[in-house]
Amino acid sequence: MKKEHAFETQVIHSGYDAKEHLGSLTTPLFQTSTFTFESAEQGEKRFAGEEGGYIYSRLANPTVKALEERMAQLEGADAALAFGSGMAAVSATLIALTKANDHIICSQGIYGCTYGLLTMLEEKYNIQTEFSNMKTEEALRSLIRPETACIYLETPINPTMELIDLSLVVRVAKEYDIPVVVDNTFCSPYLQQPLALGCDIVLHSATKYIGGHGDVVAGVLVGKQAFIDCVASTTQKDIGGILSPFDAWLLLRGLKTLPVRMDRHCVNAEQIVRKLQSHPAVGSVYYPGDATNPDYPIMQKQMKRGGGLISFEIKGDKQDAQFMLNQLTFIKKAVSLGDAETLIQHPATMTHSVVPEATREQMGIRDSLIRLSVGLEAWEDIWDDMQQALNKLVSSE
């Protein structure tokens, strides 16, 4: 696969050569746990690393490898590793990067289970995490210590949709030689490629836009060869959160339509944002692709478009938020995101309920905040459903 092919071509072709597989158009599914050796000596050589070839599917599997090669190419990385969930990718990465008593600088606002993992690392290994909005170089620099092992961030931040300027973070991190890890789940490589901006490691919950069809839980990690090799031979091999061949096969299938789906998610989201902004039951609307959003200049610098996620405040409390969700007809009340179906959730009581209330407040996750993952349906239908639910909120006052 030539590097110079466009992204839209790479999502379909890279990492796979039909000639190697009897001409099969799609990547074959190697649904096998282990691989047979032709001789005992061959087994010995493979274990010693003297001969290439497969050994056991926790170590490597051809279907999973095809996915990894495609993802590495799409993110512009040396190499990739696939995992059984986004959290398996997050935990394998953070455990590989840190040792007891280290320090992590993290974005002010983070996926709920990542927050849970950071809390666990502190309790078990005294690895301390400090949160920063990373708005200025000074703010970031003031937190750096000799034992800072990495800067870990999401942009857009889940669920507040605030952005972090990746070039700013990279400038500071390079001065101190600290790796920058970006959870790129909300964007997918179609909308944002942090490695091209100098970040070191990118990971995904592939459950979301990469799979795109709500039928698989998976994670992907990409980065430089040395780091990927390190994870492959330690926190992936020995902790074992690997991806199944069938799930890799589903992700290869999903990836082919990533650019088409993302464009539609963005178009739909832009329309819904416009409508939400003029509804009387709605307060602030957070969407980085909106020209009135304070982070819009950062969006223009590092993202192709605003993406498919919108957060907004309703004028009301927790009960009102729950009431609104309960009025929806076809929009699904569910966590996760990036699916064909429009999904809606209440972060304070769902994805971010593990975050203590005071920290939630600091992160801007109020009881009135609702997160919408805009699907691929006709946007007019999505808005009709949202509007009738929001109207009931106004009339119930």
Ligand X SMILES: *Cc1c(COP(=O)(O)O)cnc(C)c1O
Contacts from 383-386 at CB under 8 Å and sequence distance 24+? 383/271, 383/272, 383/275, 385/328, 385/329, 385/330, 385/331, 385/342, 386/272, 386/275, 386/276, 386/328, 386/331
Q: Is 281 exposed, middle or buried (0-12, 13-18, 19+ CB in 10 A)?
A: buried
CA-based nearest residue to 396, from 324, 313, 344: 324
CB of 327 to ligand X, least distance (A): 25
Q: What is the number of the residue whose Cβ is closest to ligand X?
A: 86
Residue-wise over 307-328: b if at least 16 C-beta within 10 A, else e? bbbbbbbbebeeebbebbbebb
Q: Apex CA 161: angle with CA 359 and CA 364, to 5°?
A: 25
Give residue for tokens 């805009």.
374
DSSP helix/strand/coil, 114? helix
Between 82 and 172, whose beta carbon lies closer to ligand X? 82
- Catalog residues that contact ligand X under the rule CB under 6 A: 85-87, 111, 113-114, 154, 158, 183, 185-186, 205, 207-208, 217, 219
CB of 219 to ligand X, least distance (A): 5
CB of 280 to ligand X, least distance (A): 30
The helix (H) or strand (E) run that includes residue 205 is strand 201-205
- Residue pair 181/199 in contact by the 8 Å Cβ criterion: yes
Residues 204 and 218: their CA atoms lie apart, in Å, by 8
Residues 256 and 6: their CA atoms lie apart, in Å, by 13
Within 281-336, strands assigned E span 282-286, 309-314, 332-333
Residues 90 and 96: their CA atoms lie apart, in Å, by 10
Between 85 and 293, whose beta carbon lies closer to ligand X? 85
Would you say how long the chain is, in residues?
397
Between 205 and 268, whose beta carbon lies closer to ligand X? 205
Between 172 and 221, whose beta carbon lies closer to ligand X? 221
* C-alpha to C-alpha distances, 322 to 225, 325, 326, 328, 393, nearest whole angstrom: 46, 5, 6, 11, 10
CA-based nearest residue to 173, from 155, 198, 203: 198
Q: Which residues are catalytic?
A: 58, 111, 183, 208
Q: Apex CA 156: angle with CA 153 and CA 161, to 5°?
A: 125
Give residue for tokens 């999973």.
64
